[in-house]
Amino acid sequence: MKTATLKIATWNVNSVNARLPNVLAWLGSAAPDVVLLQELKTTEDKFPRMEFSAAGYNAEVFGQKAWNGVAILAKHKITGVQAGLPGDKSDEQARYIEATVAGVRVASIYLPNGNPVESEKYPYKLAWMERLRAHAATLLGAETPFVLGGDYNIIPEARDCYDAKGWADDALFRLESRRKFRALLNLGLTDALRVCNDKAAQYTFWDYQAGAWPQNHGLRIDHFLLSPQAADLLEDCAIDSAPRAEDKASDHTPVVLTLRQPTVLHNT
DNA sequence: ATGGTGGTTCTACCA
């Protein structure tokens, strides 16, 4: 008997409206059950809800004019939606949405970039990461499967960057930033890609500039972090780089996580 | 190469 699986994708689309044909085409071929979107660059009222509905997906959206914006698409019912990362009521940036789908708590994360490091953006990034750590610690208390997926704007290790020396002082790769990411792992979360693929140069982002894509000058900055209960369900995690080669591509490409369906306890 | 590209919005800002 084949075990039922849940296929969850994360994709920073760099404007959901500009990218709609690419996203719909990929949904049709890859057929994920759940999709975590980042960088919608639009408000909820301008989100292409009808088009996703026609493709078979429900949507929960936390949008913002021009920048940021995150969403959760799912073929299943989406419940218990929480928009915004707890810990700072003054934070107006739409970078976090969390909900329950098919028995799994999922979050779509658009972690701040943090550059330039001399600006107020860098301490905002570090503080946001501390809030994420605190919230993940709270979620762990439930001892249930959860998946934190998205654009973390963090290069975890040198092998995740085409030019580690050149990126040493960037907000995506500074030791201080990576220590904050390491703190998430130290809670007991699992970087799903690295369970399934130990090779260097497994990239999820290639800049539009300077021929980064044709030269494979990429970064691995889009990640799935799993709770122990979700890690126990892990079947596969892989980067699908094909969408990056398409016309009008996002600068990020999807990462796809496959979990065995959580066991539903019932009387026999 | 103090460049390069692309999205939002309309003049820079963000990545």
CA–CA gap between residue A39 and residue A127 (Å, rounded): 20
pLDDT the model gives residue A262: 77
Question: What's the CA–C1' distance between A67 and B13, in Å?
Answer: 10
Instruction: Write down the pTM of the prediction.
Output: 0.96
Instruction: Identify the CATH number of the domain in which residue A179 sits.
Output: 3.60.10.10
Q: What's the domain range around A55?
A: 4-261
Residue A163 located in a structural domain: yes
pLDDT beyond 80 at A161: yes
Residue A266 located in a structural domain: no
Q: What is the pLDDT of residues A199-230, one digit of tens each?
A: 999 999 999 999 999 999 999 999 999 999 99
Q: What is the pLDDT of residues A17-30, one digit of tens each?
A: 999 999 999 999 99
Nucleotide nearest to A250 (CA to C1'): B6
Residue A267 located in a structural domain: no
Strand B atom within 7 Å of A93 CB:
no
A73: part of which helix (H) or strand (E)?
Answer: strand A70-74
Nucleotide nearest to A207 (CA to C1'): B5
Rounding to the nearest 10 degrees, give the CA dihedral for residues A243, A67, A180, A116. 100
| Contact partners, residue A12, CB within 8 Å, separation at least 6 | A37, A38, A39, A110, A150, A151, A205, A222, A250, A251, A252
- Closest residue to B1 (CA to C1') is A210
Residue A170 located in a structural domain: yes
Q: What is the pLDDT of residues A134-144, one digit of tens each?
A: 999 999 999 99
Nucleotide nearest to A110 (CA to C1'): B15
In this prediction, what percent of chain A has a pLDDT beyond 70? 97
Strand B atom within 7 Å of A229 CB:
no
Nucleotide nearest to A66 (CA to C1'): B8
Question: What's the CA–C1' distance between A263 and B4, in Å?
Answer: 51
Number of domains in chain A: 1
What rounded mean pLDDT belongs to chain A? 96
A72: left (phi over 0), alpha (psi -120 to 50) or beta: beta
* Chain B: bases < 7 Å from a protein Cβ: 4-9, 14-15
